[in-house]
Structures are given as C-alpha cells and as structure tokens.
Amino acid sequence: MKVAVVGATGLVGTKMLQILAERNFPLTELIPVASERSVGKEIMYKGKAYKVHSMQAAIDAKPQIALFSAGGNTSLEWAPKFAEIGTTVIDNSSAWRMDPDKKLIVPEINAHELKATDKIIANPNCSTIQMVVALNPLHKKYKIKRVVVSTYQSVTGTGVKAVNQLMNERAGITGDMAYKYKIDLNVIPQIDVFTENGYTKEEMKMVHETKKIMSDDSIRLTATTVRIPVMGGHSESVNIEFENEFEIKDIFEIMKHTKSIILKDDVSQQIYPMPMDAHDKDEVFVGRIRRDETQPKTLNMWIVSDNLRKGAATNAVQIAEYLVEHKLL
C-alpha cells in the first residue's frame, strides 16, 4: 500500500501525515510530495525521515492512493495524471467538488456511493463538512426545507501566512499580510473572493456542496462566512427549517446517538461547544440546540469542528480507509 501525500509540507498536508500515523493507516510506503523548491527536503513520519518527492517521481512510484492538498490549479493539472496510472486521488481542493462526474464524499453520509472506478474523489469544503454531519440525520427524519448559516472560521483555514499574521499582530511585529485588514481584535466578513451575486465563493460552496452531498437539490441554503482570530477550529450558527414537526428532546437524542458527533449542551452549566474543545479532535461538536420561536418547525443550533482535521485531513483519510476496507482500490 503506497500512499502519496501531495502538499506534504503545508498545514493540511502535515495534518494528513499526523492523522495517517495516529490512525495506523496500513501503508507500506509513504511518498511525500511538495513543490520543486521542497524536493529533497525531509519530513518525519512515525519517527522516520522521508525525502520529499517531485510530482513526476511520485507518479513513477505508482501509489495506490494520493491524498492531495496543494491547491486547485495543482490538482487540475496533476490529479488526472495520477488517475491515469490507476492511483485513486482524494483531493482536498475545490477543483473537482462540483464536477458532475466526481463524487463529493463525507464518509458518514455518502461513502456508499463510492466505486472502484472513482479515481478522483473530492473532499468537501471544511465549513460544509461539519455542518452536513450534523444536518444529515435531521434531514432523514424531518426533511430540511431551508438553512441559514453564519460561520466563524479559524485563520488556519487560510494557511500558514494567516497564522503568522495573527501571531505577528499579537506580538506587535510587522510582517506579511494574508488579509487586507488586521485580523487580531477584528472580524472579517469575507472568505474567498466575491462573486457576481454579492456572495463569496466560500458561501456559494456551502450552498452547492450541501445539496450534492445530501443528494437533495430542494434544500435552500444561504450563508455568510466570516474569518475570526482563533486557531482551534470553525464555528457555525445554523438555523434549520423542516417540513415536519419535531420535539426538542428528540433532536437531543438524535445528536447524542449520531456517529462522529459529540453533544455539548447544558446551558444551566454554561456547557456548549467552543473551538478550544474541538482543537485537534476529529468529532463534530453540537450545542445551543433550541427551537426558533419566530416560526414553526424551525431549529437553531451551534456546530464546531477542527477545520484542519474533520474539515480536511481526517475526512480525506476516512475516505481512504473506506476504500481499503471495501477493497475499492
């Protein structure tokens, strides 16, 4: 089992390596891949040093799986080349997510759709993944009509440059800016570029990806995505309107018994999910569950998850685990 990790020196790539090790993924050979300037450098995996390969060297090694986290342009150019030699690519960029011929997978929801012929598999956007993990069991029982979501997203979603900007600002150091504006002691209501309709690409990703993952184009969703100066994970305030009536106690029971969800909801003790709870964990944390009292069949909830783990690296590794378990390689 040869596994290539493309973008191995980046934030998500580093996290992929960490999670492969933590979960004892059954690889026999690791092939770290990065940009030309990093080729020949060493990265550590399970206490052993591995040299960073070029793209072509990785293809020549013929891995069974390639985990990609190197940006959309890189994926568009190189993922098909890996796929041509029989490698199954699990891609973390937005390049293939809305391609009608590619599967967009959150294992808890739609891994059963995967086939051995799927050679490029898309990993959804981080903010979408954590939301649909919580929404899917509710959709099955009550059928979702409409979702209004506002996100509060960690700077780690932007990358190392953004983390450095935040840390520099806190230390009073002038340095490279990942954002146009200061991030510390501030909130930036823009993630990705604006589109013609006034929404950002990140907001529209949540709209389109949710429908594709949950196989239901009738779900209406509107999003506002916001960058905040934290590093533990993404938080989301979600308002959900259902077709069918529900009891709050049943929502609690569903969340309590859904795989990959940890329910943290006891307002009498001020218990609710926060990014510091989710940091370096794979689960999706849910709390602040309450009825929307302004209209019928509508629910409010708060969802938190580590965007580098379940929102990116862990989800990709879980897809790989499913492929191995079900002999789809």
96 in the same domain as 14: yes
Residue 39 sits in a domain whose CATH number is 3.40.50.720
275 in the same domain as 198: yes
CA separation for the pair 160, 178 (Å, rounded): 9
Q: Is 257 a catalytic residue?
A: no
168 in the same domain as 282: yes
203 in the same domain as 133: yes
Considering 53, 126, 139, 279, which one is annotated as catalytic?
A: 126
Residue 158 sits in a domain whose CATH number is 3.30.360.10
CA separation for the pair 124, 13 (Å, rounded): 16
Distances (CA, A) of 298 to 80, 274, 321: 43, 23, 36
211 in the same domain as 105: no
196 in the same domain as 293: yes
The number of distinct structural domains making up the chain is 2
- The secondary structure of residue 123, as a DSSP letter, is P
303 in the same domain as 317: no
140 in the same domain as 254: yes
257 in the same domain as 220: yes
Considering 53, 112, 208, 234, which one is annotated as catalytic?
A: 234
Q: Is 126 a catalytic residue?
A: yes
Q: Which residues contact 297 (CB under 8 A, 6 or more apart)?
A: 142, 241, 242, 243, 244, 245, 246
pLDDT at 139: 98
218 in the same domain as 99: no
Please give the chain's pLDDT, 329 residues, in tens: 999 999 999 999 999 999 999 999 999 999 999 988 889 999 999 999 999 999 999 999 999 999 999 999 999 999 999 999 999 999 999 999 999 999 999 999 999 999 999 999 999 999 999 999 999 999 999 999 999 999 999 999 999 999 999 999 999 999 999 999 999 999 999 999 999 999 999 999 999 999 999 999 999 999 999 999 999 899 999 999 999 999 999 999 999 999 999 999 999 999 999 999 999 999 999 999 999 999 999 999 999 999 999 999 999 999 999 999 999 99
The domain containing residue 221 runs over which residues? 127-307
